[in-house]
Amino acid sequence: MDQVKDKKILLVEDEPELLRMLETILKRDGFHQVFVAPTVSEALSLTAKCRPDAAVLDVMLPDGDGFTLLGEIKKVRDIPILFLTARGEAEDKILGLGLGADDYIVKPFHPREFTLRLSAVLKRTYASAMKNEMPVMTLPACVIDLGKAEVTKGEETFLLTAKEHAILTALCRNANRVVTTDTLCQCAWGDDSYGYENTLMVHIRHIREKIEINPSDPAALITVKGLGYKLVV
């Protein structure tokens, strides 16, 4: 459960070829929550919508430069920021002056160096926060973050309610294994949980609405008739 790889990365780069390459590298090295934007304006709206945990910015962008974008992002979210730059291109500006950049990487770069620097920055920033052991589950359709009590599906994130959180926690802890209805009820309502089977069903539906692509044709939260449910990851 490498928490670093579960962080949401915002990639801002206008050159399509380089963008595709960066995305491929990230995905290959295990980052599965990558959001991309080719312009400053799109980057800002994405930041508001997806709440990334770190951003990688090219210095040169079609509708502005990375420095001002950094300022805008930092105003909204205090996340670590990594710059992409050509050799000699304002290197001292980036790290030296207090612009707020956390690191920068010089083009052309070794693919691994990219993810290494990103991981290092994330580790520094979130080291203390990552001690907490609430798991992050990655499904094909979404990411379930029990610590944040939220699930991110595509570009929207939903908050989990108390019951949903309790039920999903039980399912995540037993990922890929069937959890009986009784067990789930106990997790959500305590020992005296008889009579909540119907209510459980409603909550299952609500959870499916948040984690499934098509809630009526579940692919992750599978019901096993007569037994209970299982979360397939």
Residues that bind a second copy (CB under 8 A): 51, 74-79, 87-88, 91-92, 94-96, 98, 103, 106, 110, 112-113, 116-117, 119-120, 123-124, 128-129, 132, 134, 137-140, 147-149, 159-163, 165, 173-178, 222, 224-227, 230, 232-233
126 touches DNA (CB under 7 A):
no
| DSSP 3-state of 208 | helix
Interface stretch with DNA, choices 23-31, 57-65, 123-131, 204-212 (CB under 7 A):
204-212
- Determine if 210 is a binding residue for DNA (CB under 7 A): no
Written as six digits, the tokens of 6 are 């579960």
Q: Which of a second copy, DNA, none does 87 bind, CB closer than 5 to 8 A by kind? A: a second copy
Cβ atoms within 10 A of the Cβ of 174, count?
16
186 in contact with DNA (CB under 7 A)? no
- Which structure tokens are listed for 29? 């090295």
Residue selected from 152, 164, 187, 210 as contacting DNA according to rule CB under 7 A: 164
When binding is defined by CB under 7 A, the residue of 142, 181, 184, 230 that contacts DNA is: 181
Q: Which does 131 bind (CB under 5 to 8 A by kind): DNA, a second copy, none?
A: none
Residues contacting residue 80 through CB under 8 Å, at least 6 positions apart: 54, 55, 102, 103, 121, 122, 124, 125
* Cβ(49)–Cβ(8) below 8 Å: no
Residue 39, binding choice from a second copy, DNA, none, Cβ under 5 to 8 Å by partner class: none
Distances in Å between the alpha carbon of 204 and those of 75, 168, 171, 219?
A: 38, 9, 11, 13
Return the half-sphere exposure (C-beta side, CA atoms, 13 A cut-off) of residue 192: 0
> Binding to DNA by residue 145, rule CB under 7 A?
no
